Amino acid sequence: MKIDSTRRNVFLHMQKTAGSDIAAQFHKSRLGKYFFPEDLRATLAYLPSETLECYRFFYGHEYRRQEIRNIPGEKFLFTFLRDPIERLISHYEWLASYKLDIEKRIIPQPETIPVKTMSCDEFFQSAISDHILAFNNYYTRTIHDFFVDERTDDVERMLSVALEKLHVFDFIGLVDCYGASLDYLGRLLDIQFEDPAERPKINATLALPNENEFHEGGGRFNVCPETMSRILHRNKADIELYRHARRLAQEQFGLPEARILSGFSTQGVVHRGYSATRLYIDTEGYLQFGPYERLNAGDYIVTFELKFTQCLRAAPALDPDTIVATLDVVQSYGGDFELARRVVKWREINSERMTPFPLRVSTSMPIPCFECRVHSTGMCELEAPMSLKMENAADYRPDGAALGVTPP
């Protein structure tokens, strides 16, 4: 059901959840000329209603209840969430990517100083990190303060309010299924967004090499298991809130349970590109999905799908056990580290339909960067969908396909 176009759209932009990209897409739409100016944000709670009447899109990181109340008329409230530990890591690496020069007064944010002058493990073991809101139940506090006037440090109270108020949002998107979330939001608001697999990222964490002894900008989240346990304990309210938000988004908005991996590139692969919703791999090399930023610790199933379209060798000469492809999930930061691999034999694939090939990936610590690859041996032309599915192993329901082998 489409939303009344006269309603004000209020986007609660959680930090490091692709919010800058989402706002940029709205700015390109018919709502672009109705954006509330950022330089007036500090006055939002006090401006007269007649001044605000002409605006249709409001977004920011930390709205307070009195600001929202001052926006006239009916409002469409929405936000986007991602795995809270992945968001925390992204926020840390974003701070680490800033250039810091205290003597020259280049201090983008106060938090940059301890992030830049301590190792990652030291930082998250220190009391300093306990006082930076972005690293301590950030979602829970932000949603609580969005709806409640009084501030509090009572985590249980904030979580109770946040869980109750999740249902007040008209839409909750998930970064794990970004494309499906934007599609649903676009249908609600009658806006056509660009394909998220094709457009460039905005405000993504970038590397600044040789910056100091601890960081080279992003990809440097290295902590010991004890420190990781401390981080999980400090953010247990956010973990609980996100679990409820995912279930709500799936039940109310029909968002998929699985993470959708849709970005791709080629490495030594000649393929015919897009054809409907398929990619073709027709020579030796590999098709690469990713790289993707960060994966939280846990057990996952990555489901590849393949079919063949024609043989590149004489069909009678292909033994049923001939290997036609190898599937890999690889941690790709600082060199390749194989997380899971399996081979695909000639007898396992079909020319009539896609065959699923699930691989189990287990990691006890977050992964900074990973890729999913389809290696072709050149025996036949392979066809693959333009996206993969990744889901928690506990939620996986196999369709008769054998699980791939996870290396020790």
- How many Cα atoms are found within 13 Å in the side-chain-facing hemisphere of 289? 21
- pLDDT (tens, 9 = 90+) of the chain, 408 residues, equals 555 567 899 999 999 888 888 888 888 888 888 888 888 888 888 889 888 988 998 988 888 888 888 888 999 999 999 999 989 988 888 887 777 666 776 666 778 788 888 888 999 999 999 989 999 999 999 999 999 988 899 999 999 999 999 999 999 999 888 888 988 999 999 888 875 554 445 445 544 444 444 444 445 678 899 999 999 999 999 999 999 999 999 999 999 888 877 655 443 333 333 334 455 565 556 777 777 777 888 999 999 999 887 765 555 577 889 998 899 999 877 778 899 999 999 999 988 899 999 999 999 888 878 888 888 887 888 888 877 888 888 877 776 444 444 333
Residue carrying the six token digits 């691999």: 341
228: its two tokens:
């990781």
| Beta carbons of 172 and 245 less than 8 angstroms apart | yes
CATH homologous superfamily of 260-395 equals Galactose-binding domain-like (2.60.120.260)
> What would the CATH number be for the domain defined by 1-257?
3.40.50.300
Pairing relationship of beta strands 8-12 and 57-60 according to DSSP bridges: parallel
d(CA 326, CA 340): 11
CA distance 98 to 3: 40
Residue count of the chain, please give it: 408
Domain boundaries, the chain: 1-257, 260-395
Closest CA to 259 of 392, 104, 404: 392
Cβ 207 vs Cβ 96: under 8 Å:
no
Question: Cα separation of 157 and 57, whole Å?
Answer: 30
CA dist., res. 359 & res. 393, Å (int): 10
Q: What span, in angstroms and rounded, lies between the C-alpha atoms of 237 and 65? A: 21
